[in-house]
Chains A and B, each alone.
Chain A
């Protein structure tokens, strides 16, 4: 038998911190999803730059609903993170509360988005601006739906007592995904609601 140069006994088994395979997988998953939004927003800016008339033709969209809904989504991220900090101290009831609150606020954001959709004066088929608006906010909303599903499953598993102070990698990764959905919204919000006001 060869000499032992690897201290086997001192190695962790399936670490759950940033050395875990799951963490690495999530980072690259987020990278490729972020690239998808980069290309969608590239399409927006490309088509805006090629547009002959004023952009958007209906004027800069109102902030009346979009701005509050942005804060709702940010608050949802915050609530989820508050829950994560709870389980890091071993408090799974605080985690459950955080996830429940994040879920409720996320559903609130979705409701506000759908309300705004319903009150637009244009449709996806009106012109290319309408196509861009509904497609890009729609793809984001799909990501919100995925995030809400993740939060819901995490909440159920939390209530089943599956997570402890030592083992809660699912929570960390799921909530990171939720933060990502939040950050994407900031990019979408900036593009659609703020950049038309710059000109």
Chain B
């Protein structure tokens, strides 16, 4: 058990806090909730749904490619499928899933009662949901995006793609960017403002470092995609010439803008997931993470270098050799911080006493896949090799090893790890092990042969291939493997649903974890902490056994903060108590603003200017209502409490 007595769950004041923080009953109360745990769970469930949709799209493609010369799908259907598969997995699953984890976990890990901007948090979820619906809307009329997830011009220009396909891509990406941006901003300010006293930067869990780094990067990277999509939409709809050489434009501008966004983005898809492993793996090794400082710095370094590698997606476009040399070198340098983290995890397992539970299996599997994906990435960072391999299945294999390996495996491991905290019940261990082994074997069976298909010259994004090319066997193995992998993910899905109702009760700290979320009941009460904790180390629940210093964290402090919804604010670096923050009540304004934006974007898609104006008016009204100053924000007596 944990070293410290966990606080009394039903102690003095918990009833009053419950009344202050819990959402009102009924549908309206549910829609108005700004509780970060509720929003986090909604993110995770929605993202999992998109994972299933994207997976089904992949299975349809694998059915088509299982044997040569098949005609299950037309070329146009195949184009829409691989595009929507990529868009779904990269934009609607991978980052939102991590946002879900971070939303649920951040205040619990930081010792706070909510995020810095609870209503903005609700807005980021609603906009994500509505943007997802928006991007999928034209599937119904057979005009889904069909120029690949990176949507290169001139293929995505009006001349070659006259339908609504690309307009919905361009507007959808801008729409989704609103969600990503406000979510990222919220994480950054939460880190700077709402942490428990003593939660200084050298004590932050690594997932905080990962999400923080990803969020700062998103604030600077997402505008590049929004700008590119705006220019493309104007080219297509209003006869402009940004990507049109006949009018003085340059198709290559799209590639620059897209990858200036895209490469930092792929690190944003993995750094928080690596944080999940850095925090949860050590619990199953019964020791703290080896090299905390090195891993935290490697996280930040990866992103800094990650802003300087975008041209490695463009080695084959005729860019000057000096630029290619620079970006090739940067792409190799980025292996160093990644290796730092890998060695830290291996050392943690090596020097620990591993407990082979399901989460451990997923995290260990992740390390293996990360190494394979990292090596194939390093290979394509070498310019001459990239010229041979670019646009082949080798690259498809690489990107699936890194994105599934570093995102999906940690995420599923993290689901097994934190499900008991969110739901109060354990997931089934036997089913969990089955799901891991089936997924792991299926994954490698599906994606390893893709390397070989690529080396044999199979280009990506072909809807079929001839029988005489020597690609039959590897494609058949890939298709079989993809079905096995899907079955493994399906087992986890069944496990989630069954355990939700039948799992064994978890108790507050079933894994004997060391961080703050395990000090509160499972599931946590709406106010998280009955008393704001005061933190003295990186592992508040392991202090007695580690005995690194005589100081001890205080989980049952006298910081009740029960004069309304309140949490404490601390200084950004040292986390010294600074002020008391009044937190907002539940509100429908985020939902209404999200709906206003939805009206606006659908109107822009169909170029219906009056409805667009109406959508805009809804947005303005919602924001004005949201931000309106109250007549007397803080009663005078509040200012001198004590």
Of the stretches B394-402, B453-461, B474-482, B622-630, the one at the interface is B622-630
Q: Contacting B577 at CB < 8 Å: which of A6, A14, A15, A42?
A: A6
Task: Report the bound CA distance from A22 to B442 in whole Å.
Answer: 48
Chain A window 8-40, contacts with chain B (Cβ cutoff 8 Å), 1 for yes, 0 for no = 111111110001010011001101110110111
Q: Which residues of the partner chain A approach B627 to less than 8 Å between Cβ atoms?
A: 170
Asked if B219 is an interface residue, CB under 8 A from chain A, the answer is: yes
B219 lies within 8 A of A35 (CB) = yes
B629 lies within 8 A of A163 (CB) = yes
Of the stretches A83-91, A99-107, A120-128, the one at the interface is A120-128
Q: Contacting B579 at CB < 8 Å: which of A5, A14, A128, A162?
A: A14
Q: Which residues of the partner chain B approach A132 to less than 8 Å between Cβ atoms?
A: 242
Q: Which residues of the partner chain A approach B260 to less than 8 Å between Cβ atoms?
A: 39
Q: Which residues of the partner chain A approach B256 to less than 8 Å between Cβ atoms?
A: 42, 46
Q: Which residues of the partner chain B approach A12 to less than 8 Å between Cβ atoms?
A: 578-580, 639
Asked if A199 is an interface residue, CB under 8 A from chain B, the answer is: no
A43 lies within 8 A of B240 (CB) = no
B579 lies within 8 A of A11 (CB) = yes
Q: Which residues of the partner chain B approach A129 to less than 8 Å between Cβ atoms?
A: 248
A125 lies within 8 A of B223 (CB) = no
Q: Contacting B249 at CB < 8 Å: which of A31, A32, A39, A128?
A: A128
Chain B window 165-195, contacts with chain A (Cβ cutoff 8 Å), 1 for yes, 0 for no = 0000000000000000100110011001110
Asked if A131 is an interface residue, CB under 8 A from chain B, the answer is: yes
Q: State how many angstroms separate the Cβ of A168 from the closest Cβ of chain B.
A: 9
Task: Report the bound CA distance from A46 to B231 in whole Å.
Answer: 14
Taking A19-B569, A29-B185, A39-B257 as contacts, is the C-beta distance between A128 and B248 under 8 angstroms? yes
Q: State how many angstroms separate the Cβ of B199 from the closest Cβ of chain A.
A: 13
Task: Report the bound CA distance from A127 to B360 in whole Å.
Answer: 58
Task: Report the bound CA distance from A33 to B569 in whole Å.
Answer: 26
Task: Report the bound CA distance from A7 to B558 in whole Å.
Answer: 10
Interface residues of B in 208-231 (CB under 8 A from A): 219-220, 222-224, 226-228, 230-231
Task: Report the bound CA distance from A124 to B242 in whole Å.
Answer: 10
B238 lies within 8 A of A125 (CB) = yes
Q: Contacting A25 at CB < 8 Å: which of B185, B244, B577, B638?
A: B185
Q: State how many angstroms separate the Cβ of B245 from the closest Cβ of chain A.
A: 9
Taking A2-B554, A25-B117 as contacts, is the C-beta distance between A36 and B249 under 8 angstroms? no
Q: Which residues of the partner chain B approach A7 to less than 8 Å between Cβ atoms?
A: 577
A43 lies within 8 A of B227 (CB) = yes
Asked if A153 is an interface residue, CB under 8 A from chain B, the answer is: yes
Task: Report the bound CA distance from A8 to B559 in whole Å.
Answer: 7
CB nearest to B576 among chain A residues: A6
Q: Which residues of the partner chain B approach A28 to less than 8 Å between Cβ atoms?
A: 185, 188-189, 219
Task: Report the bound CA distance from A131 to B185 in whole Å.
Answer: 31
Q: Which residues of the partner chain B approach A167 to less than 8 Å between Cβ atoms?
A: 629, 633-634
A1 lies within 8 A of B558 (CB) = yes
Chain B window 540-579, contacts with chain A (Cβ cutoff 8 Å), 1 for yes, 0 for no = 0000000000000010111100000000110000000111
Asked if B313 is an interface residue, CB under 8 A from chain A, the answer is: no
CB nearest to B624 among chain A residues: A153
Asked if B371 is an interface residue, CB under 8 A from chain A, the answer is: no
Chain A window 69-99, contacts with chain B (Cβ cutoff 8 Å), 1 for yes, 0 for no = 0000000000000000000000000000000
Asked if B116 is an interface residue, CB under 8 A from chain A, the answer is: yes
Asked if A159 is an interface residue, CB under 8 A from chain B, the answer is: no
Taking A2-B558, A39-B227 as contacts, is the C-beta distance between A21 and B238 under 8 angstroms? no
Asked if B521 is an interface residue, CB under 8 A from chain A, the answer is: no
B241 lies within 8 A of A128 (CB) = yes
Q: State how many angstroms separate the Cβ of A43 from the closest Cβ of chain B.
A: 6
A47 lies within 8 A of B558 (CB) = no
Q: Which residues of the partner chain B approach A115 to less than 8 Å between Cβ atoms?
A: none
A13 lies within 8 A of B580 (CB) = yes
Asked if A149 is an interface residue, CB under 8 A from chain B, the answer is: yes
Interface residues of B in 607-642 (CB under 8 A from A): 620, 624, 627-631, 633-634, 638-639, 641-642
A127 lies within 8 A of B629 (CB) = no
B223 lies within 8 A of A39 (CB) = yes
Task: Report the bound CA distance from A12 to B219 in whole Å.
Answer: 30
Number of interface residues of A (CB under 8 A): 53
A10 lies within 8 A of B556 (CB) = no
Task: Report the bound CA distance from A29 to B194 in whole Å.
Answer: 18
Task: Report the bound CA distance from A35 to B226 in whole Å.
Answer: 11
Chain A window 141-163, contacts with chain B (Cβ cutoff 8 Å), 1 for yes, 0 for no = 00000000100010001000011
Asked if A51 is an interface residue, CB under 8 A from chain B, the answer is: yes
Asked if B272 is an interface residue, CB under 8 A from chain A, the answer is: no
Interface residues of B in 569-614 (CB under 8 A from A): 569, 577-582
Asked if B410 is an interface residue, CB under 8 A from chain A, the answer is: no
A31 lies within 8 A of B220 (CB) = yes
Asked if A50 is an interface residue, CB under 8 A from chain B, the answer is: yes
B639 lies within 8 A of A13 (CB) = yes
Asked if A58 is an interface residue, CB under 8 A from chain B, the answer is: no
Q: State how many angstroms separate the Cβ of A181 from the closest Cβ of chain B.
A: 16
Q: Which residues of the partner chain B approach A124 to less than 8 Å between Cβ atoms?
A: 234, 238-240
Q: State how many angstroms separate the Cβ of A149 from the closest Cβ of chain B.
A: 7
Q: Contacting B189 at CB < 8 Å: which of A14, A25, A46, A157?
A: A25
B557 lies within 8 A of A6 (CB) = yes
Task: Report the bound CA distance from A68 to B641 in whole Å.
Answer: 53
Q: Which residues of the partner chain A approach B638 to less than 8 Å between Cβ atoms?
A: 13
Q: Of A24, A31, A139, which is in contact with the most chain B CB atoms at under 10 Å from its CB? A: A24
Q: State how many angstroms separate the Cβ of B188 from the closest Cβ of chain A.
A: 6
A13 lies within 8 A of B634 (CB) = yes
Asked if B111 is an interface residue, CB under 8 A from chain A, the answer is: no
Taking A6-B534, A13-B641, A127-B247 as contacts, is the C-beta distance between A47 and B253 under 8 angstroms? yes
Q: Contacting B219 at CB < 8 Å: which of A6, A32, A40, A50?
A: A32
Asked if A190 is an interface residue, CB under 8 A from chain B, the answer is: no
A40 lies within 8 A of B227 (CB) = yes
B534 lies within 8 A of A162 (CB) = no
Asked if A135 is an interface residue, CB under 8 A from chain B, the answer is: yes
Asked if A195 is an interface residue, CB under 8 A from chain B, the answer is: no
Q: State how many angstroms separate the Cβ of B254 from the closest Cβ of chain A.
A: 10
Asked if A62 is an interface residue, CB under 8 A from chain B, the answer is: no
Task: Report the bound CA distance from A5 to B579 in whole Å.
Answer: 14
A47 lies within 8 A of B248 (CB) = yes
Asked if B143 is an interface residue, CB under 8 A from chain A, the answer is: no
A35 lies within 8 A of B220 (CB) = yes
Task: Report the bound CA distance from A37 to B641 in whole Å.
Answer: 45
Q: Of A11, A39, A135, which is in contact with the most chain B CB atoms at under 10 Å from its CB? A: A39
Between-chain CB contacts (< 8 Å), 7 pairs? A13-B634, A14-B580, A24-B116, A25-B117, A32-B181, A130-B241, A162-B630
Complex A-B, nearest 4 residue pairs according to Cβ-Cβ distance, in ascending order:
A9-B642, A128-B248, A131-B240, A125-B239
Contact surface of A with B, Cβ cutoff 8 Å = 1-15, 19, 21, 24-25, 28-29, 31-33, 35-36, 38-40, 42-43, 46-47, 50-51, 124-132, 135, 139, 149, 153, 157, 162-163, 167, 170
Known: A5-B534, A32-B223, A125-B240. 7 other contacts (CB 8 A): A2-B554, A4-B558, A13-B641, A21-B194, A24-B189, A25-B120, A149-B620
